[in-house]
Amino acid sequence: MTSSVLESIVEGVREDLAERRAAVPDAALRGLVEQAPAPRDALAALAGGRTDPAGVRVISEVKRRSPSKGVLADVDAPADLAAAYEDGGASAVSVLTEGRRFGGSLADLDAVRERVTLPVLRKDFMVTEYQILEARAHGADLILLIVASLDDAELRGFRELAESLGMHALVEAHTPEEIARGVASGARILGVNVRNLKTLDVDPARYAALAGDLPEDVVRVAESGVESEEQVRQYAAAGADAVLVGEALVKHGTPADALRAFRAASLSAR
């Protein structure tokens, strides 16, 4: 079910999680969840991108590095970057919180949540209920669930837990089989990541090849491969409601301008 790359990442995630869980036991975490600000409606924020007169929705990512590219950018002030995203018309902000491979942290999530009014996605490798409670305690409105790293019971159970806390789940698939599993789990926001988990290669054409497997009644998200306006145009033409963009924005000198250009480019695909 999983690739060696994904397994390695998840192994590290579990080790780091054990340390955090020892510092903040489950009972204490549930108390923090009760004190967290009310969640924002990520589903509403991302829906309708296929017909939005301003173009597809954009989930803009706060991301320092990746396993495939190494260091992408010095993000000393994630809150400032997120504010630029909001100014540029982002519909949500994704914050990497995995530390070993991506250089993220829950502190980044806290900083972004305090600064922006947009829904915030905690982007991490979610393999336990504790992480979902942790996401809500730190103000997340949306979590990522990677089909390849979860069995069917976990996939459905984690989504239901997130929704019981007022959040939503972006369910990420890479293959037709994973899309079918995501649909069966009740996913309402379904993403296709065009990155190959085994090689880490990116093939933007993969989204169009798989788009026909996505139901009409889910929010469709194209993930990875956005380096130019043309790729956004391609994803929009294939029916994406939203695109998730990280590297192209964190490396851009004026990310707000890049965001506006991406949304405008998607209109020419209609």
182-205 pLDDT per residue, tens = 999 999 999 999 988 777 888 999
**Which one of the listed residues 66, 94, 149, 193 is annotated catalytic?**
193
229: DSSP letter: H
224: DSSP letter: S
**Which one of the listed residues 86, 134, 172, 178 is annotated catalytic?**
172
**Which one of the listed residues 86, 98, 178, 223 is annotated catalytic?**
223
Tell me the two tokens of residue 21.
């869980």
Integer Cα distance of 11 and 110 in angstroms: 24
61 an active-site residue? yes
pLDDT value at residue 2: 43
pLDDT value at residue 245: 94
**Segments of the chain with pLDDT less than 50:** 1-2
Integer Cα distance of 269 and 259 in angstroms: 16
Query: What one-character-per-residue DSSP string does 89-135 give?
Result: T-SEEEEE---TTT---HHHHHHHHHH--S-EEEES---SHHHHHHH
pLDDT value at residue 193: 95
How much is the pTM? 0.94
178 an active-site residue? no
- Determine the residue type at 126: M
**CATH code for the domain defined by 5-267:** 3.20.20.70
133-172 core/surface letters (b: 16 or more CB in 10 A; e: else): bbbbbbbbbbbbbbbbbbeeebbbebbebbeebebbbbbb
**Which one of the listed residues 63, 66, 86, 178 is annotated catalytic?**
63
223 an active-site residue? yes
251 an active-site residue? no
Asked if 50 contacts 211 with a C-beta cutoff of 8 angstroms, the reply is: no
Domain ranges of the chain: 5-267
15 an active-site residue? no
- Determine the residue type at 40: R
**Which one of the listed residues 60, 94, 185, 224 is annotated catalytic?**
224
Tokens 């803009």 appear where? 60
pLDDT value at residue 67: 78
